[in-house]
Structure 1
Amino acid sequence: MVERAQEANLLHGLIVGQDEVEVSHLQFADDTTFFLDDKEESWRNLFDVLDLFCTVSGMKINKGKSSLLGINFNMASLEDKAGRWGCEVGSWPMVYLGMPLGGNPKTISFWNPVLEKLEERL
């Protein structure tokens, strides 16, 4: 549904890399991460697609485990979107699936969560 919405120009992901690939979402197991531009229409359309998905599938999104994060994004706008969606505003850096995201990998402290996880398993 997200890909169809993207093909219909209803939402736009982020353009990344030298080949300028548009990335709107990534999925791992039962997690989905969305990447959107800052246009209000894209956000509104994504929320509509997600609501439609829930209606059609009978599944529910756990908004208590969901968060919105922005990069160079107006905090008031992000808080407004999170409030309308019913989730929290996250912050950078963060840990996702035990791996740090959004920090500086050149600093030693960036790798502390990874080292702690390895130590636990050893």
Structure 2
Amino acid sequence: MREAVSQNCFRSLLVGKNKVPVDVLQYADDTVFFGEASMENVRAVKVILKRFEMVSGLRINFAKSQFGAIGQPKEWCNSAAVYLNCALLQLPFCYLGIPIGVNPRRRVVWDPIISKFEAKLSKWNQRYISIAGRTTLINAILTTLPLFYMSFFRVPLAVISRISTIQRQFLCEL
């Protein structure tokens, strides 16, 4: 990827006001390419993936791969997906537990976190736990659950209010 970018075979996505180039995100065996929506970039990705297969001896599972582009006509995305021999990515989708292509200001995006809160609490609700134990649970479980989401999205005030209400109710149930 570095070589493709340095030789201007692949044009990275420029992010933020400082125009920081982003071209690839990798986690475990997942790879996400970011770049300008152009057929030149699509061809470069195919070459990169084929070279990876030849060098590593591994095979790319194109049946599990997807292609998507934001702000491009569906026909263009379809033709690029066909060229890459993979499925068309549908928005919104989840990657590493984070919803991509959603509006994080909408409460429905945060419903899974609130549901997890309530599910965790219902398990502990039947037990007799001291106020110190409940405080420890809130700090250990209920505070850390939304942090992953919060590291990506600004939390709407309504969600903060709901989380605080859940925490207060849990502390007060003695």
Q: Same fold (TM over 0.5)?
A: yes
Q: CA RMSD in A?
A: 1.8
Alpha carbons 1:36, 1:43 under 8 Å: kept = no
Shift in alpha-carbon separation, 1:112–1:65, aligned structure 2, 3 A:
farther
2:68–2:88 Cα contact (<8 Å) kept: yes
What 5-or-longer segments of structure 2 have no aligned partner? Answer: 121-174
Q: Corresponding residue for 2:75?
A: 76
Q: TM-score, normalised by structure 2?
A: 0.63
1:62 is matched with 61
Question: Normalization by structure 1: what TM-score?
Answer: 0.88
Structure 2: how far apart are the matches of 1:98 and 1:119? 16
For residues 1-122 of structure 1, what are the structure 2 equivalents within 5 Å? 2-116=1-115, 118=116, 122=120
When residues 57 and 11 of structure 1 are mapped into structure 2, their CA distance, relative to the original with a 3 A threshold, is same
- In 2, the alpha carbon distance for the partners of 1:114 and 1:62 equals 32
**Cα distance change, pair 107–54 in 1 and its aligned pair in 2 (3 A):** same
- Alpha-carbon deviation of 1:91? 1.5
How far is the alpha carbon of 1:119 from its aligned partner?
Answer: 5.4
Shifted more, 57-66 versus 107-116: the winner is 107-116
Q: Over residues 60-99 of structure 1, what are the superposed CA-to-partner deviations in whole Å (9 max), with x where a residue is unaligned?
A: 1111221111110121111111112121111211111222
Greater percentage in strand: 1
SS at match of 1:95: strand
Decide which structure has greater helix share: 2
Count of equivalent residues: 120
For 1:13 and 1:121, the matched residues in 2 are separated by 42
1:66/1:113 Cα in 2 relative to 1: closer, same or farther (>3 Å)? farther
- Please tell me whether the aligned partners of residues 93 and 102 of structure 1 are also in contact (alpha carbons under 8 angstroms): yes
Unaligned runs of 5+ in 1: none
Amino acid corresponding to residue 45 of structure 2 in structure 1: L
